[in-house]
Structure 1
Amino acid sequence: MRILVVNPNSTTSMTVRIAAAARSVAAPGTEILAVNPPSGPASIEGYYDEALAVPGLLAEIERHEGTIAGTVIACFDDVGLDAARSLATAPVIGICEAAMQTASLLGGRFSVVTTLARSVPALERLAQRYGMAGRSTIRAAGVPVLALEDPASGAVDRVRAEIRRAMEQDGAESIVLGCAGMADLARSLGEEMGLPVVDGVTAAVKLAEGLAALGLRTSKAGGYAAPLPKAR
């Protein structure tokens, strides 16, 4: 099967890292097609960037419609998720929803460690939407998204320190990494911290594979009905 992984920002180097994480867990026979829009925000940090990223995201999904078994939106804000599900026929998985659902299967309380404080309100809303508000705490490590690509930035150390605070102060039984740019950190941080550390990219890939294997598609009976033809 072929899984489309869309990084909604325009930073190609981040797409390469996301693709590597996705391929590291993909089943034999699963092809990962990782793309990003050619234009749009270089990183997604807050509501304004989200809005700017949606047109490019939808264009990539529309371009590959009919050729894939599922789509992963590789931004932890689950940018444009409902619109994407309306556009696509194959299942569309947001990495925040995938990560939170996965963490909920591994323990009681979990903490999400994201990048900047401006992202916290959006993720708290998503936790409410996914029924996870009572089981989760959202934390920011004070790390700009693109700093995760710079080994000299100290970003990984700040993420590590925030995970330790979540364990000590929140009673976290598992950790969710709240940015697709952290996808390559989950395994090593899990081994270091001694508790499950969930990355949404890899969790979403496995969910997309599972839904495709079950032959399930996005329902078009209600809110995710196909867009009506109209002038644009």
Structure 2
Amino acid sequence: MTTIRVINPNTTVSMTAAIGACAAAVAGPEAVVEAVSPVAGPVSLESQVDDALAVPGMLARVAEGEAAGVDGYVIACFGDPGLAAARELAAGPVVGIAEAAMRTAAYLGRRFSIVTTLARTVPHIEELAVSYGLERQCAGVHASGIAVVDLETDPLAREKIAEFAEAALVADRSDVIVLGCAGMTEFTAWLAERLGVPVVDGVAAATATVAGLLRQGLRTSKRGEFAVPGAKPFTGTLAAIEPRALLAR
């Protein structure tokens, strides 16, 4: 059996549970899924500051996983925060849900549209599409205006996301919808049936990707950039999360 640790970088426990259920449904019988959140951090990630403050706690969860023998990791936030840093710490594969969702969508149609939460997140998602070499396939990123935590509590959230997705398909002349937040994972099947097109949830896509890499016996290369960082002093509150100190626990 292999173990896949799915890390929700925010601290909303109910969202972590939903993410874990989605991941377990696609991981396959040979994989055990652990869904975890940082001990401390923001309840949702909706800004660059949120992302930055969530990363130390997320990396601590990666380091704990290494000590426990975890085989691979999913970073379950659509901004893919701390993805490269997590790959430095982890021996096994680490996949972010934005990258996995976009690459999966590119297999399913010529162009895809992303429906996300707040407008301020759109430039970062567009930048990710460019960095992953998928800007030509990404036909548009559309903000629903729904805050991350409201995806669980607003009774109209699912309907609003559907309306934005329908409009995006027309405006972008796209073939596939990508859900631009891990908090939308429970909408996937309902939306696909309503829209009549593939709807890609990044949690499922990233978990399936990690599981596939592990089945092939593939791990993160430690030859270059993703080698474990060298030891150096860290001061103040960051002393407790110095990379080699984390891995030594």
Q: What TM-score do the two structures reach when normalised by structure 1? A: 0.98
1:142·1:158 contact (CA, 8 Å) conserved in 2?
no
2:97 aligned residue: 95
Amino acid at match of 1:8: P
What per-residue deviation string (whole Å, max 9, x for no partner) do you get for residues 129-187 of structure 1?
011111211111111000011143x2212111110111111111000000000111111
Rounded to whole Å, the distance in 1 between the matches of 2:208 and 2:27 is 7
The answer to whether the aligner puts 1:111 opposite 2:119 as a matched pair is no
Rounded to whole Å, the distance in 2 between the matches of 1:26 and 1:6 is 15
The answer to whether the aligner puts 1:223 opposite 2:230 as a matched pair is no
Rounded to whole Å, the distance in 1 between the matches of 2:217 and 2:137 is 31
Across the aligned residues of Structure 1 and Structure 2, the Cα RMSD in angstroms comes to 0.9
1:28 aligned residue: 29
Radius of gyration: which is bigger?
Answer: 2
2:59 aligned residue: 58
Shift of the alpha carbon at 1:29?
2.6
The gaps in structure 2 that reach 5 residues or longer are: 235-249
Rounded to whole Å, the distance in 1 between the matches of 2:57 and 2:159 is 32
Partner SS, residue 112 of structure 1 = strand
Amino acid at match of 2:162: R
1:46·1:122 contact (CA, 8 Å) conserved in 2?
no
> How many correspondences in the alignment?
231
Where in structure 1 do 4 or more consecutive aligned residues deviate above 2 Å?
A: none
1:145 aligned residue: 148
Amino acid at match of 1:59: A
Partner SS, residue 226 of structure 2 = coil
What per-residue deviation string (whole Å, max 9, x for no partner) do you get for residues 11-58 of structure 1?
111100101111111211311000001210000001110001000000
The gaps in structure 1 that reach 5 residues or longer are: none
1:84 aligned residue: 86
Rounded to whole Å, the distance in 2 between the matches of 1:111 and 1:47 is 22
Rounded to whole Å, the distance in 2 between the matches of 1:156 and 1:180 is 14
Partner SS, residue 65 of structure 1 = helix
Rounded to whole Å, the distance in 2 between the matches of 1:172 and 1:46 is 27
1:13 aligned residue: 14
Shift of the alpha carbon at 1:69?
1.6
2:70 aligned residue: 68
What per-residue deviation string (whole Å, max 9, x for no partner) do you get for residues 92-122 of structure 1?
0000000000000000010010000010011
Rounded to whole Å, the distance in 1 between the matches of 2:71 and 2:39 is 23
1:169 aligned residue: 171
Shift of the alpha carbon at 1:222?
1.2
Shift of the alpha carbon at 1:126?
0.2
Q: What TM-score do the two structures reach when normalised by structure 2? A: 0.91
The answer to whether the aligner puts 1:4 opposite 2:5 as a matched pair is yes
Q: Quick one: structure 1 residues 28 and 74, their matched pair in 2 at CA, closer, same or farther if it must change by over 3 Å? A: same
For residue 134 of structure 1, the aligned residue among 133, 136, 156 is 136
Rounded to whole Å, the distance in 1 between the matches of 2:191 and 2:70 is 32
Partner SS, residue 214 of structure 2 = helix
Shift of the alpha carbon at 1:206?
0.6
The answer to whether the aligner puts 1:46 opposite 2:54 as a matched pair is no
2:184 aligned residue: 182
Q: Please say which of residues 171-180 and 24-33 is displaced more in the overlay.
A: 24-33
1:176·1:198 contact (CA, 8 Å) conserved in 2?
yes
State the identity %: 49
Rounded to whole Å, the distance in 1 between the matches of 2:30 and 2:215 is 12
